[in-house]
Amino acid sequence: MTRIHAERALVAGRELTDVVIEVADGRITAITSGESPESADLRLGTVLAGSGNAHSHAFHRALRGRTHDQGGDFWRWRQQMYAVADRLTPDSYERLAEAVFAEMLVTGWTSVAEFHYVHHRPDGAPYEDPNAFGLALARAAAGVGIRLTLLDTLYLTSAPGEPLLPEQSRFGDGTATAWLDRWQRLHETHESNEGTVVGAAIHSVRAVSPEDIALVAERLPTEAPLHVHVSEQPAENEQSLAAYGRTPIRVLADAGALTPRTWLVHATHLTDDDIALIADSGAGVVMCPTTEADLGDGIGPARELADAGVRIALGSDQNAVIDPWLEVRGLEAGERLRSRRRGRFSPTDLESARTSAGYAAGGLPGGLRVGARADLVELQPDSVRTTGACLDQVALVATATDVTKVLVGGRAVAEDGRLADGRDPATLLTEALKELP
């Protein structure tokens, strides 16, 4: 057993002092306050639960700072993204993902749900190991110590009824059955791996037909998390209505794919009926405020979803920004801009979105509570940003710069902006990006 002593910690929305967190097999087994430290304790200062990144595309990080000069919209950005995807190899992606995951870790993201759809060679032919890219991502996460939920993604059409575009060839498996077979092999490879959860994703209603969505919903193991991009753009809704006479949410519901294990990414342009369907199903929503702002997607109905009882998690998506604290602020700021009112989410709501909901989206128990993974973040309480802040509101003022130490499974994996072994994420990124001119 490991004992961690925190001078103060945020537990169940309350600031406690002299907190002892007991850890066994990487999980929290007890939390008590008002206790003096012992000589063998791991001593920490101000402690919060680790952040659960519920949506990431690691390779999009290569576009940071390179897509902002000529305006445009999501669809123009997408063409630049395809160009990066075309240059990836399993080896280069492993190095890039390791660097991106390292950056996540030092900012306080302690788990990541990687929505992974680059599977094959540029012409669509499989590698000798058809899961070469997925295995590379798993190695990258293990190499830095972040928890990974690998969401292997089904991607079959460019639009309803339309074949994949040439630049999408490496995303597809031809049929849903072929994808399920490959997914099963990937799952079997990692089913005993404590550090990696293998989940699944349906890229979108644009990319998978209702019939194939239903097949996946039927055949995918019930314990596997299932994620779907949904209603990110009005054009997606228009295509779904034209092809199926239904919104994407209704398509998912009718196919049996809207259940408590389902997480809907973005959900920006929803109808009232969509929100009711999501709430009735028990599905969750992943919002990615910095990406939705960067791509000009719009501001989703977060308050309406929460009022209906829908769980909301946060993700870094395209990784133009990697900072959980900015995603928290983006969620609240978007609501303030929509409503012209402050305090749309309580500090407890925002903490849940950052921690336990993000972990739940990855099929993991999170938060600073007994039974959860012992993934913790130590913050500097008296920086120019955080000094004077109440602990339950510190996420609204902190940034990644304020993270001083990160623990995963009770073990220190990062400190003062570097990995525990001393590696600098900036150096890792610089070297990885050289392979993707």
Q: pLDDT by residue (tens digit) across 309-344?
A: 999 999 999 999 999 999 999 999 999 999 999 999
Q: Are 19 and 346 in contact (CB under 8 A)?
A: no
Q: What would the mean pLDDT of 373-395 be, rounded to a whole number?
A: 97
Q: Are 196 and 141 in contact (CB under 8 A)?
A: yes
- What is the rounded distance in angstroms from the CA atom of residue 94 to the CA atom of residue 108? 21
Look up residue 235 and give its two tokens.
Answer: 């054009």
Whether the pLDDT of residue 72 is over 80: the answer is no
Map tokens 């590698």 to a residue: 127
Whether the pLDDT of residue 67 is over 90: the answer is no
Q: Are 379 and 386 in contact (CB under 8 A)?
A: yes
Whether the pLDDT of residue 192 is over 80: the answer is no
Tell me which residues are annotated as active site: 266, 317
User: pLDDT at position 190, please?
Assistant: 83
What CATH number has the domain spanning 51-362? 3.20.20.140
Q: What is the largest CA-CA distance in the chain?
A: 67
Choose between 75 and 78: higher pLDDT.
78
What CATH number has the domain spanning 2-48+370-422? 2.30.40.10
In sequence order, the 6+-apart residues with CB closer than 8 A to the CB of 233 are 74, 75, 268, 269, 297
Mean pLDDT of the chain: 96
Domain residue extents for the chain: 2-48+370-422, 51-362
Q: How confident is the model at residue 163 (pLDDT cuts 50, 70, 90)?
A: very high
Whether the pLDDT of residue 54 is over 90: the answer is yes
Q: What would the mean pLDDT of 11-27 be, rounded to a whole number?
A: 97
Whether the pLDDT of residue 261 is over 70: the answer is yes
